[in-house]
């Protein structure tokens, strides 16, 4: 009874004083979380297949991360990278240089993914002295103004703010869901021809600073871009002196079965944007490029008070260390394949499910868009009733996406998948 009263009090206070602008997926009051589990203020235990939207790659409150955060807080909480150097930022920048593809060896730290995207746009414009940015239909890059300007996964994200940012163009992403009129095997050539058409009709490539892409589309529905498409983008951008930017905010740090999704296509972008699982929950983003490119960004042209703060950097170092020590990139590949095979066996023939796919532990169950708006919210509700938190994505909310901790325990994985399968079967059979 006491617990109930406490959670009601917290919910009431939140409703009164937190801005209603934020979409609230559930009305739960969260008390604590550990690994792949969390507990509400009412003492209810849940399994978490969302991981703070692909943030907690090593699970909630991993003890090595807690230790690193505590130790760092005792020696230095904040100073500001504009007033000197400190060890955690230096070590983390060096570590990122070691694990990212190709010659990406220099880092600017921000506090979030959207902020890092804005910084990447500024870096691209400053380094090329060109005005235009090209992004992709269906992509999501964040809520800051620059990121909003290049986001095209829902008109609701933009409608109050236009015009946002000078020259931004969108071309189709090789996402079969948005290109139903195009034969599946022609999707890549169709998208490339649309990019060429943009160059021919709207913007000369010599005016384009950057092409920005998610190598696996996240919010837009969990669609991996084919390797040949990314390779062709690399060739086109090199030919025209355009910078290629990969937004790996959601795909980075083992989520796709490689440390970075860029590795699946063997493509090194000019700028790699990171956040989310970089620091496993402490606010941190990173704009990674080679030294030569960063040196074209004149001192003072960008900055941040909190970016790369000592605690976030300590958390990120511990987090990457855990990913390496526990071999979570390899595990993501293996366990991801196993999950997809299991879900295909149990769910594939159900009417309404049109695809079950995964790249590592970035796994999507896609529903027919004519049904998705009706059934997906019911499946989420059914799963929550059975103590499993799941989330969906896609322009029509058509894909249930799994963002499990990469180190999830086998029993919890089995338990969560069973609830998920039962929830889907119950809702689809009950129609």
Residues binding ligand PLP (CB under 6 A): 53, 112-114, 117, 140-142, 214, 218-219, 247, 249-250, 275
The smaller minimum CB distance to ligand PLP, of residues 142 and 416, is found at 142
Least distance between ligand PLP and beta carbon 136 (Å): 11
DSSP characters for 278-329? GTBTB--EEEEE-HHHHTTS-TTSS--SSTT-HHHHHHHHHHHHHHHHTTHH
Least distance (Å) between residue 143 CB and ligand PLP: 6
Task: Report the 10 Å Cβ neighbour count for 147.
Answer: 28
**Least gap, CB of 141 to ligand PLP (angstroms):** 5
Spatial contact of 118 and 141, defined as CB atoms under 8 Å apart: no
Least gap, CB of 219 to ligand PLP (angstroms): 6
Cα–Cα nearest to 246, from 124, 355, 368: 124
Which residue's C-beta sits nearest to ligand PLP? 113
Complex with ligand PLP: residue 249 or 318, whichever CB lies closer:
249
Per the structure block, which two tokens stand in for 312? Answer: 């976030």
Strand residues in 28-185 grouped as ranges (E): 30-34, 37-40, 45-48, 106-110, 132-136, 168-171
Q: Whose Cβ is closer to ligand PLP: residue 22's or residue 299's?
A: 22
Cis peptide before 163 (omega within 30 of 0): yes
Closest approach of ligand PLP to the CB of residue 277, in Å: 11
The CA–CA distances, whole Å, from 38 to 14, 42, 123, 196 equal 19, 11, 39, 49
* Distance (Å, whole) CA 109 – CA 312: 10
Please, which residue, 262 or 428, has the CB nearer to ligand PLP?
262
Residue among 114 and 257 whose Cβ is closer to ligand PLP: 114
Q: Which residues contact 300 (CB under 8 A, 6 or more apart)?
A: none
Minimal distance in Å, beta carbon 56 to ligand PLP?
Answer: 14
> Which CB, 7 or 112, lies closer to ligand PLP?
112
């Amino acid at each position: 009874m006491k617990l109930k009263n406490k959670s009601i009090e917290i919910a009431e206070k939140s409703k009164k004083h937190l801005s209603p602008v934020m979409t609230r997926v559930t009305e739960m009051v969260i008390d604590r979380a550990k690994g792949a589990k969390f507990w509400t203020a009412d003492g209810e235990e849940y399994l978490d297949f969302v991981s703070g939207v692909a943030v907690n790659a090593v699970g909630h409150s991993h003890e090595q991360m807690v230790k690193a955060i505590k130790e760092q807080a005792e020696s230095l909480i904040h100073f500001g990278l504009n007033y000197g150097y400190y060890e955690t930022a230096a070590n983390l920048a060096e570590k990122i240089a070691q694990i990212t593809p190709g010659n990406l060896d220099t880092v600017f730290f921000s506090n979030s993914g959207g902020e890092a995207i804005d910084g990447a746009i500024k870096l691209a414009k400053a380094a090329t002295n060109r005005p235009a940015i090209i992004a992709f239909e269906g992509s999501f890059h964040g809520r800051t103004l620059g990121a909003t300007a290049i986001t095209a996964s829902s008109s609701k994200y933009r409608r109050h703010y236009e015009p946002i940012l000078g020259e931004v163009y969108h071309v189709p992403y090789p996402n079969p869901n948005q290109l139903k009129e195009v034969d599946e095997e022609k999707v890549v050539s169709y998208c490339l021809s649309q990019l060429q058409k943009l160059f021919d009709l709207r913007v000369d490539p010599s005016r384009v600073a950057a092409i920005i892409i998610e190598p696996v589309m996240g919010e837009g529905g969990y669609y991996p871009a084919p390797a040949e498409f990314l390779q062709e983008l690399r060739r086109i951008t090199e030919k025209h002196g355009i910078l290629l930017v990969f937004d790996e905010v959601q795909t980075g740090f083992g989520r796709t079965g490689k440390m970075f999704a860029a590795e699946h296509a063997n493509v090194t972008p000019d700028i790699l944007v990171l956040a989310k699982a970089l620091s496993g929950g402490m606010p941190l983003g990173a704009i990674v490029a080679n030294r030569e490119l960063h040196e074209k960004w004149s001192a003072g042209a960008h900055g941040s008070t909190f970016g790369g703060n000592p605690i976030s950097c300590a958390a990120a170092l511990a987090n990457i260390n855990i990913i390496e020590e526990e071999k979570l990139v390899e595990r993501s590949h293996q366990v991801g394949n196993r999950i997809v095979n299991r879900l295909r066996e149990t769910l594939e023939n159900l009417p309404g499910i049109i695809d079950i796919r995964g790249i590592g532990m970035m796994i999507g169950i896609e529903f027919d868009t004519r049904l998705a708006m009706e059934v997906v919210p019911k499946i989420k509700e059914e799963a929550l009733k059975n103590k499993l938190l799941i989330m969906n994505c896609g322009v029509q909310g058509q894909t249930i996406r799994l963002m499990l901790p990469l180190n999830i325990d086998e029993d919890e994985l089995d338990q969560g998948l069973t609830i998920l399968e039962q929830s889907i079967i119950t809702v689809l059979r009950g129609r």
